[in-house]
Amino acid sequence: MHIPACQTTQLELISFDQALEEAQEPNPDYDSSRWLYVPNFYSEYRYILGTRGDRPLICVGVNPSTAAPDALDNTLKSVERIAHHNGYDSFIMFNVYAQRATDPDHMEQTCNHTLHHENMRAFAYALSLDRSGSPSVWAAWGTIIEKRDYLPLCVRDMVQLGRDYHASWWSAGKRSKKGHPHHPLYLRKDSVLEEFDVDSYLTHIGFGTERRRGL
Q: Is the pLDDT of residue 179 over 90?
A: yes
Is residue 160 classed as helix, strand or coil in its secondary structure? helix
Strand partners for 38: 48
Rounded Cα distance between 183 and 173, Å, is 8
Provide the pLDDT for residue 208.
72
pLDDT mean over 113-127: 98
Domain spans, the chain: 53-204
Cα–Cα distances in Å, from 114 out to 70, 186, 215?
29, 33, 11
Whether the predicted pLDDT of 211 surpasses 80: no
Structural contact between residues 96 and 151, judged by C-beta atoms closer than 8 angstroms: yes
Q: Which residues contact 175 (CB under 8 A, 6 or more apart)?
A: 181, 182
57-114 tens-digit pLDDT: 999 999 999 999 999 999 999 999 999 999 999 999 999 999 999 999 999 999 999 9
The pLDDT tens digits of the residues spanning 10-37 come to 999 999 999 999 999 999 999 999 999 9
pTM of the predicted model, to two decimals?
0.94
Q: What average pLDDT does the chain have?
A: 95
Report angle CA 32, 20, 66 to the nearest 5 degrees. 70
Q: Report pLDDT for 207.
A: 83
